[in-house]
Amino acid sequence: MARQMTDSHRRFLQTMMSNGVMESSKANALCLHFCRDQSVPAQLDEFIGVINAELQPMFMHIRKGMCEDDGHQYYALVNMAETDITRMSSDYADNELELFRKTMDLIVDSERGRASSTDILNCADRLQTKKMKKKEVENLLDRLVQDKWLNEKRGEYTLSTRCIIEMEPYIRNIYQDLVKPCAICHSLAFQSQTCENCGVRIHLPCAAKFFKNNTDPRCPSCKDYWPHEIPVFQFQTLSQSASSRASTAPASTASRTRRK
């Protein structure tokens, strides 16, 4: 018999609505906290499945995705009835949305899945809606990072986990052949390594897992030699503590000579 929504599910959903996106370790900790009075500990995916069954008639869904920066799993609350950028129209002006679209264009067209602040600033002079000054662009980029649509690191911007999860239908529709899924996890891949023979893409965290301790890495599709340096990441399980999460960061790329 299907399980029913309880107060534990409702409190979890309220937290998701407030946060928009949540790391899986935090989501699991909240699940256990809200269900602490139950005799049988809740499993996160099963717990979320009950919520999703109730959300379906409202065209809402809690969807899981991976952060391309660190390989951690995240959950995002997605509005299935709106599949494009129009869902942001209540928070951003038309010219701000246009610049966000152009930023996405730059990121998708980039080999590394990144766009520099300089390139984004240059786009502001070519807006069809209304030109933006440098300070306005900088403020907008700060807002997009704060609202978890973009990530920023050393002056370069990438699509956030929330953006990729929520905007996936829009991205697939608009960019079509320009975007490809990761050959390992099958989610859209932007920050990735690409097979030089067949064009298959693999997320950096997925490559770290897939090729770990492999002395002769081969493309999972065409079996050609994988010529890239294999990244090294520190991955976590749901049971790790919050203090462990705070101290964990991706390790540097392994420095070793790869044969051609």
pLDDT at residue 84, rounded to an integer: 58
Per the structure, the complete domain to which residue 207 belongs is given by: 179-247
Q: With cut-offs at 50, 70 and 90, classify the pLDDT of residue 80.
A: confident
Pairing label, strands 192-194, 115-116:
unpaired
Is residue 59 within 8 Å of 79, Cβ to Cβ?
yes
Here the CATH number for the domain that contains residue 192 is 3.30.40.10
**Structural domains counted in the chain:** 3
User: Does residue 257 lie in a domain region?
Assistant: no
pLDDT, tens digit, 9 for 90 and up, residues 103-154: 999 999 998 899 999 999 999 888 999 999 999 999 999 999 999 899 999 9
17 pLDDT more than 70: yes
**Among residues 170, 199, 216, which one ends one of the domains?**
170
The Cα–Cα gap between 73 and 185 comes to: 11
| Mean pLDDT score of the chain | 84
Same domain, 216 and 199: yes
Look at 79-88, 173-182, 192-201 and tell me which has the smallest mean pLDDT. 79-88
Largest CA distance in the chain: 61
pLDDT, tens digit, 9 for 90 and up, residues 228-247: 999 887 655 544 433 443 33
1 pLDDT more than 90: no
Six token digits for residue 150: 């973009």
pLDDT at residue 78, rounded to an integer: 87
40 pLDDT more than 90: no
Same domain, 98 and 138: yes
The Cα–Cα gap between 253 and 32 comes to: 35
List strands edge to edge, sheet with 150-153. Answer: 115-116, 156-159, 150-153
pLDDT at residue 49, rounded to an integer: 93
39 pLDDT more than 80: no
Pairing label, strands 21-23, 73-79:
antiparallel
User: Does residue 255 lie in a domain region?
Assistant: no
